[in-house]
Amino acid sequence: MDGSFLIGSKSETTDNTFRAMNPATDEALDTDFAVSTTGHVAEACKLADAAFDSFRELDPETRAVFLETVADEIEATDGLVERAMAESGLPEGRLTGERGRTCGQLRLFAKLLRQGRWENVVVDNAMPDRQPLPRADLRQRRIAVGPVAVFGASNFPLAFSVAGGDTASALAAGCPVVCKGHPAHPGTSVLVGQAIRNAIKKCGLHEGVFSLIQGPSNDLGKALVEDPRIKAVGFTGSRGGGLALMKLAQARPEPIPVYAEMSAVNPVLLFPEALKARGTDLGKAYVGSLTMGAGQFCTNPGVVLGIDGPDLDAFAKTAADALAEAQPQVMLTSGIHANYDKGVEKLTGEADVETLARGAEGTGCNRGQAALFATSGKAFLANPNLAEEVFGAASIIVKCADMDELKRVLSEMEGQLTITFQMDDADMDAAKAVLPIAERKAGRILANGWPTGVEVSYAMVHGGPFPATSDPRTTSVGTAAIERYLRPVCYQDLPDAILPKAVKHGNPLGLPRTVDGEVEG
């Protein structure tokens, strides 16, 4: 295992090193990883800036082939899943699937590039004879915003990290990337970073298209966000971390956007008829979603809302029985495990909160013991602490007095990534009445499923109002993620000889266009 970090085509080392920890044993793994300096950050950003103009103007086919080559190189990397297992405590099947998702989203963006819609070409042809004033020839396309800083996430060491959705969408847009690998999985980061670098070399691209900096210090992230050559930031992590980066970005002489996916409890609404008809099955499925991956999903169902009564009591009993049998799983880091225990302890000590069940106690390091709580709608409304995310397999059932109180509880909650409706046909009118509230609160609304699991597709939205994300207009999953790293440019009366190919009169790239208000292609 190579402990160097990557500045363009160079592998760099320093005397200052750190090691990854195996969360299953709390033992340090065997490789010393070099810690980058703020000087290395500046060098990486300088290279990214130097690569920007050539990379952003690559024809779509060339950039698509590059993304596909990155996917091929990741799949060909020996020992990647095994290293990710050692650094994250996640099982082989989960990480094998995550590797497939990582490569799949790279290939999906390659397909998007070939389709051409992402450039959003709009042409308003000149109208020299228009009265009382002529109209100029106006042509619009979207171009890359500039070099992008990406922060690797702890809970998805592949799909939300070095070559994850933020990096894939930024590269697809034509933005070079400087990635700060997550300090919990530096070996995984290096292996993926080397795969990207191999693809850059094979495709003959500028070395500054990608760099990887490493280290546990927050100073590196600060230097990266504050570097004037960085024009946007992609981040998945805690609310505190996201807010800190946003503050840094807004304090720059040139403020830049931070696209941060942060905190959500993803309410599940149990409508009365569904609860009556299949409450037992819902209780078991709920616990399965809650405890999946030790509850370390952005879309974990942390709050359940239902109408108080025998049907909700039966659901809660089934869920409590199932959760009591849930085996503790290794959490990602000792710090995440400690914060989870603190969050559970805080809920346990809250007035008007009942502990319904705890999962089985485990032996070994950093095992998260699942927890299930209950409270009334009135108490939930009176105590904002009950709506805070506990990152892990902990959730609270809120027993509302009636549908009006349920709607009030949902209305007063913060922004969410998801809201789930468990409903039957007889619940349709009630669900329709709640839908406008859900639309205000979440980026994805689903029926009769569970929020854990995010499809990488054209229609997917993995975002939502604050604090789910820092910008509710965006998504970090799906093809629309590319829009974060593009901006419109209008060309007025430029000679065809100097117009970019995307907006030339003859449409040499064959892109879909909107011409004088009519969609073509």
Nearest by Cα to 476 from 92, 143, 167: 167
Q: Which residue in 261, 389, 405, 414 is the catalytic one?
A: 261
Burial (Cβ within 10 Å: 0-12, 13-18, ≥19) of residue 138: middle
Which phi and psi (to 5°) does residue 143 adopt? Answer: -120, 165
Amino acid at 34: A
175 in catalytic set:
no
98 token code pair: 């995550």
In SS3 terms, 41-103 reads as HHHHHHHHHHHHHHHHCCCHHHHHHHHHHHHHHHHCCCCHHHHHHHHHCCCHHHHHHHHHHHH
315 token code pair: 């659901």
Question: Measured between alpha carbons, how far apart are the two ends of the chain, in Å?
Answer: 49
List all residues 6 or more positions away from 214 whose beta carbon is below 8 Å from its beta carbon.
Answer: 5, 33, 34, 35, 36, 180, 181, 183, 186, 189, 190
Q: Taken in order 136, 137, 138, 144, is the CA torsion positive or negative?
A: negative
Contact 183, 18 (CB under 8 A): yes
Degrees to nearest 5, angle at CA 256 with 250 and 257: 95
Spatial distance between the Cα atoms of 80 and 281, rounded to a whole number of angstroms: 37
Residue pointed to by tokens 């169902």 = 301
Nearest by Cα to 438 from 288, 266, 211: 266
Q: What is the Cα 123 distance to its own chain's centre?
A: 34
Q: What is the Cα 520 distance to its own chain's centre?
A: 33
Residue pointed to by tokens 């299930």 = 372
List all residues 6 or more positions away from 205 whose beta carbon is below 8 Å from its beta carbon.
Answer: 51, 54, 55, 58, 66
Q: What DSSP assignment string belongs to 285-343?
A: HHHHHHHGGGG--TT---EEEEESSHHHHHHHHHHHHHHHTPPPEE-S-HHHHHHHHHH
Q: Which residue in 207, 298, 405, 414 is the catalytic one?
A: 298
List all residues 6 or more positions away from 131 whose beta carbon is below 8 Å from its beta carbon.
Answer: none
261 in catalytic set:
yes
Contact 137, 499 (CB under 8 A): no
Residue positions counted in the chain = 521
Nearest by Cα to 393 from 305, 467, 289: 289
Q: In what helix (H) or strand (E) does residue 404 lie, and over which residues does it extend?
A: helix 403-412
147 token code pair: 């070099």
Give the catalytic positions in this structure: 261, 298
